[in-house]
Amino acid sequence: MKFGFGVNPQGVDEVVSAGVQAEALGFDRIGLWDSPLGHREVWMTLGAVAAKTEKLRLGPWVTNGITRHPVVTAAAAATLDDIAPGRVILGVGSGDSGVYNLAGVGSKLADLEEFVVAVRGLLTTGRAEWRGQSLAIDWPGERDVKIFVSAHGPKATRLAGRIGDGVIVGSGVSPEAIHSARDLIAAGCEEAGRDESQIETWWMAPWYISEDGEQAKNDALWHLTSLVHHWSRTGGKGMFPEELREGIIKLGSGYHLRSHGDPSPEEKAQYAAEAERLGVADYLRRRFTISGTPAEVCVQMAEAAQAGALNLDCANAAPKGRVMVRPTNFHTLVRPLLQEQSAMATGTAHVH
């Protein structure tokens, strides 16, 4: 198994420190949000992290094709590859807070596909077609920058399997959610005549870990509103049990993107109370979070791995000054249990 986490970059020094610590603790990768209203500029911050690390993979997790032109994105990724050769991973999505907070609207899937294809063309051949125009970039040469497509809904997940070098799955980490997403990725690969085994898939969920398991689960409650607000714009039909769907959509529609990643204590309390009031907290917590005591989290991660989720990504929205709290809790409290479990069980995935 491999582990990584995202960062809502609220200070360059803290993010650089987090990158250095992540590398020392054996995390595979770190990703930075591209959301300029509330966070530091993603590519400049990534350059600072790259200069202080040697092995850690890094990149935007995720950027978008609304606020970033394909040539600008390809040039930024190639420049980062100059600083960190072979370590750059480019997460791309339809756009969330980084778009909506700038009075924009997220990409349609066809536009997202065109953007991904254009950026890949620019990074591999220096040429691309985009929106009926011929684009060019002369200096990068051929770059091996993997493009990961972020996907929450069924259509996006299938698209990601068809066009992505990798997939960032945001539709849940329960075994049933994992099986469903894997089927969609496989279908997308089949459409494109691709080998599914060559697609690197990361499974995104917030990790909340404490010896006080109930406290950890309560701490995770606010995050549910953030995780389901994606579907408040689409209705989430087919994504949730029908008897819960109305409550889930109502919960997500109350999320404030202006404070995305770092809500006030009052907002967190409001989100948690609303999830409980609507009767969706238990279902959403099980599907979308990894939370509880170290032993409970170990079981949840092992179940996810058994279902096929071997790369786990912590959705690490955190207040300034606390970026490394949850990754460190995982490393200290859970990783030893996973390593012990792996050593005892023949044929299980190795824990890095």
The answer on 218 and 91 residing in a single domain is no
281 assigned to some structural domain: yes
* 114 within a domain of the structure (yes/no): yes
CA separation, residue 30 to residues 33, 49, 351 (Å): 10, 10, 17
Number of domains in the chain: 2
Are 119 and 205 found together in one domain? yes
The residue type found at 172 is: G
Q: Where are the beta strands (DSSP E) in the chain?
A: 2-7, 29-32, 57-60, 63-64, 89-93, 127-130, 133-136, 146-151, 166-169, 200-205, 207-209, 290-292, 311-314
Please identify every stretch of the chain with a pLDDT value under 50, giving residue numbers as ranges: none
**Dist. CA 142–CA 327, nearest whole Å:** 34
Same domain, 123 and 233: no
Residue 321 neighbours by CB distance under 10 Å: 10
The domain boundary residue, chosen from 245, 261, 288: 288
Question: Does 227 fall in a domain?
Answer: yes
Full residue range of the structural domain in which residue 338 is found = 2-211+293-344
Handedness of CA 173, 181, 336, 347 (dihedral sign): positive
Q: In what order do the strands lie in the sheet with 200-205?
A: 57-60, 29-32, 2-7, 311-314, 200-205, 166-169, 146-151, 89-93, 63-64
Clarify whether residues 130 and 171 are in a common domain. Answer: yes
Summarize pLDDT for 308-330 with one digit per residue, the tens. 999 999 999 998 999 999 999 99
Tokens standing for residue 165: 């070098």
167 and 183 part of one domain: yes
Residue 270 and residue 165 share a domain: no
Confidence at residue 99, expressed as pLDDT on a 0 to 100 scale: 73
Do 153 and 233 lie in a common domain? no
Task: Give me the CATH number covering residue 323.
Answer: 3.20.20.30
Residues 6+ apart with CB under 8 A from 305: 1, 348, 349
Asked if 99 and 218 sit in the same domain, the reply is no
pLDDT of residue 349: 52
Q: Is residue 352 part of a domain?
A: no
Residue 349 falls inside a structural domain:
no
Look at residue 157 and tell me if it is in a domain: yes
122 and 201 belong to one structural domain:
yes
Task: Write out pLDDT tens, residues 221-269.
Answer: 999 999 999 888 889 889 999 999 999 999 999 989 888 888 999 999 9
| Same domain, yes or no: 138 and 50 | yes
* Domain limit, last residue, from 244, 272, 288: 288
Matching residue, tokens 């870990």 = 209
* pTM assigned to the model: 0.94
- Is residue 192 a part of any domain in this protein? yes
Same domain, 278 and 308: no
Within-domain flag for 337: yes
Quick one: 61 and 91 in the same domain?
yes
Q: In the chain, how long is the greatest CA-to-CA distance?
A: 57
